[in-house]
Amino acid sequence: MNPAERKKLEKLAVERLDATAHDAEQWSFLFHTDGSVCFLYCPWSVTEDWEFDGETDGLETVWAADRFELIKRGIADPSEEELRQWRQARCRKLAAGSDWCWIAWIVPLWVKLKVVGHALFGESSDGNPDEAPALIGVFASFDEAKAALSAEGAIDGEQVSNP
């Protein structure tokens, strides 16, 4: 998608969102557009500064079993790479449903009965329901939009299709 086309579709996405700001179901463009999907996600930034606290229960880490056991028992401290992996694992666990997760929507942009792009929106960071969700970007495909969301944070493995 060329920059001019992307800019045009970004404007269209925001106009359609704004048009539903005062609907009975505020921001209904996000969840009543045919083909829209929402995800729970946790931004990587939530855990990027967390210090290792020993919490490893239920985390999917890539650590070798013997190394994991040493760290879990407090015999060894995680390396910087292991600490990054632990933070990402914590973020993935939070994305699966916690007070630390946000909602993101991937919404097809329909023009003349044809999908011309996919808009990615994220809810406001402070959780204010009257604040418009932010446009993260417009992408040529659903998969590109989902990949962009994955770059922003951990996505819950279960997507929720909208009615």
Q: How far apart are CA 1 and CA 7, in angstroms?
A: 10
pLDDT digits (tens, 9 = 90+) for 30-49: 999 999 999 999 999 999 99
Whether residue 18 sits in one domain with residue 67: no
Assess whether 91 and 133 both reside in one domain: no
Percent pLDDT > 90 in the chain is 64
| Residue-level pLDDT at 144 | 97
Predicted TM-score of the model (pTM):
0.85
Answer yes or no: do 77 and 108 share one domain: no
pLDDT confidence of residue 4: 95
If asked whether residues 127 and 150 sit together in one domain, one would say yes
* 36 & 72 share domain: no
If asked whether residues 137 and 149 sit together in one domain, one would say yes
User: pLDDT confidence of 68, banded at 50, 70, 90?
Assistant: confident
Number of domains in the chain: 2
Range of the domain at 9: 3-42+99-161
Q: Within this chain, do residues 115 and 88 fall inside the same structural domain, yes or no? A: no
Does 157 lie in the same domain as 125? Answer: yes
Note whether 23 and 51 are same-domain residues: no
pLDDT of the residue at 59: 80
User: Does residue 26 sit in the same domain as residue 58?
Assistant: no
Q: What pLDDT score was predicted for residue 106?
A: 97
Greater pLDDT, 12 or 127: 12
Average pLDDT, the chain: 89
Yes or no: say if 29 and 19 are a contact pair by the CB < 8 Å rule.
yes
The pLDDT, as a whole number, for residue 126 is: 64
Whether 30 and 38 have beta carbons less than 8 Å apart is answered as yes
